[in-house]
Amino acid sequence: MKTTIFSQISIDGKLTLGAGNSSKELFTLFSSQDMEYIHLFRGDVQGIMVGKNTILTDNPFLTNRYEDNKNPIRIIPTRTLDIPLDSHVLSDQGKTIIVTTERGRDEAKIQQIRDRGKDCLICGDDKVDFVELERQLEENYGITDLMVEGGGFLNWHIFNQDIVDEIILMQLPIIIGGSSNITLVDGEGYQELCFTKKFKVVEIQPKDNYTLMRYKKVI
């Protein structure tokens, strides 16, 4: 499976205008053509993943608004299954997979999710096992291209489990700052250079409203 981090960031790597804030305000800096680029990319993948915090803050639909019938399967990992049942991803007709852990197993809530026509997977004991998750997504759902539009916490876990193949960044020419603000990758981080995840630059393309930057994993 090919896993791509796809994100909109500031020059200093921030995803929002402050901890707990929605990222939607940053999207007002993009043109309709820029937004179309994001949605058409969704049409080229079989799955799109965001974390629970994105659902709580933005309540997105995660659909492709520019092409009919080309919506990716939505995958939402939450190790404690604390996701609102009235979220858009659980309320509309689109395909959604909620992923939790043995720690978060709640048979009553799992049944409520399934009653809405959505799937629920158990992957991992205390934390989501993303390697096992990708195996199940590919074998059972035919997902070979996964787009991750996660926050810093989700991104940290998938980088740390070494499943990211490509990074695509739409870097806005703004500085946000804030030591507690969400960045592209948060989590524990690495304190030694030998443990860092290495990528190579494959494209840098200036646009009117942002700079497109693509990186591929160094093998």
Give the pLDDT confidence of 37-82 residue by residue, as tens digits. Answer: 999 999 999 999 999 999 999 999 999 999 998 999 999 999 989 9
Mean pLDDT, rounded, for 91-105: 96
- Other C-beta atoms closer than 10 Å to the C-beta of 65 total 14
- Residue 117: which region, alpha, beta or left (left: phi > 0; alpha: psi -120 to 50)? left
Query: What pLDDT is attached to residue 126?
Result: 94
Specify the pLDDT at position 84: 93
Q: How far is CA 195 from CA 160, 161, 218, in A?
A: 9, 12, 13
Which pLDDT value is given to residue 20? 82
Q: Report, as an integer, the average pLDDT of 144-154.
A: 96
Q: Rounded distance, CA 204 to CA 169, Å?
A: 10
pLDDT band at 19 (very low <50, low <70, confident <90, very high): confident
pLDDT averaged over every residue in the chain: 96
Domains of the chain with bracketed CATH: 2-217 (3.40.430.10)
- Which pTM was predicted? 0.95
Angle at 80 between CA 79 and CA 86, to 5 degrees: 110
pLDDT level of residue 142 (50, 70, 90 thresholds) = very high
